Amino acid sequence: MKLLVVGVSIFLSLSTLAAAGGAPPPRMPSPEGQQQQSLPETAAQPVGEQEMFMMPSGNIGCVYTPAGGTAVYQPQDGGPELACDIVAPRYVRATLGRAGAATLNHAVGDPSCCSAAQVLDYGQSWSRGPFACASERTGLSCRRDDGHSFLLSRVQVSAD
């Protein structure tokens, strides 16, 4: 009988603790006399934003990525990078990176041209970082400060 009473007492004690959310929280030292602990600071790297523009025809669109890239895209050489796509007469992507000659990609795996809000009207120019582009009725020409460039038009696609 004693054993039954002891067992019921333990059961009731454990049930009460479980209903109260388990064991009471550990006693914490009072805030007086404690030194404030600071969490290690993490240096937040500024993330740039891409800028997009397209020609009035809707046939050519460009994406500028600043040095250091964005939260979702980092240029292979660290940037900055200018990539422009032409849709017709065939899809081609011209890219100017931080250094070296412009490249042409005739087998673009992610064609996504052209739906930018900013239209670069004919006769206007655009520039960011080391890049400058000129919009003409005959096409788009873009150049980096060191002279490397590309030209995209319905008649000619070239890079140097």
Domain ranges, ordered by start, for the chain:
51-159
Please report the pLDDT score of residue 45 as a whole number: 52
Q: Give the per-residue SS3 of 42-85.
A: CCCCCCCCCEEEECCCCCEEEEEECCCCCCCCCCCCCCCEEEEE
**In this model, does residue 7 exceed pLDDT 90?**
no
CB 120 within 8 A of CB 60: no
- What's the predicted TM-score (pTM) here? 0.71
- Rounded mean pLDDT of the chain? 79
Tens digit of each residue's pLDDT (9 = 90 or more) over 42-86: 344 557 899 999 999 999 999 999 999 999 999 999 999 999 999
CB 92 within 8 A of CB 152: yes
Please report the pLDDT score of residue 115 as a whole number: 77
CB 53 within 8 A of CB 116: yes
